[in-house]
Amino acid sequence: MKLVKSAVIAFALMLIAQGSAHAQAPETKVVSSTLFDLRGIGAGIVILGAALGIGGLTKSAVESMARQPEIAANIQTAMIIAAALIEGVTFFALIIIMLQS
């Protein structure tokens, strides 16, 4: 239930941010409907996927550290590298989504 609430809040924030982004550029003459502009929804899905991935990664790493405290440094290093890779892919996907016309 907590995941559903978070998803709804993220979706609503993306739609609000999308509306304000369109309001900032009145000089463009491109006619686009917010109903058919799915970039905000795509960005929200990318961010939710990254959050779930990093959250699951962190949960598993902390459980592994609790079971084997003697190799906690190795687990932490691997967790940080994996989280950085997930964030890098997320930023790349967001850039691709936002640059599409």
Number of domains in the chain: 1
Q: What is the pTM of this model?
A: 0.60
In this structure, what token pair is assigned to residue 17? Answer: 């941010």
The per-residue pLDDT for 93 is 87
Q: Quick one: DSSP state of residue 8?
A: H
The per-residue pLDDT for 39 is 80
pLDDT digits (tens, 9 = 90+) for 56-99: 999 999 999 999 999 999 999 999 999 999 999 999 988 888 88
Instruction: Residue 45: give its domain's CATH number.
Output: 1.20.20.10
Q: Give me the DSSP letters along 56-101.
A: HHHHHHHHHHHH-GGGHHHHHHHHHHHHHHHHHHHHHHHHHHHH--
Say how far apart CA 50 and CA 86 lie, in whole Å: 6
Residue 44: domain span? 2-99
In this structure, what token pair is assigned to residue 30? Answer: 């491109």
Q: Quick one: DSSP state of residue 1?
A: -
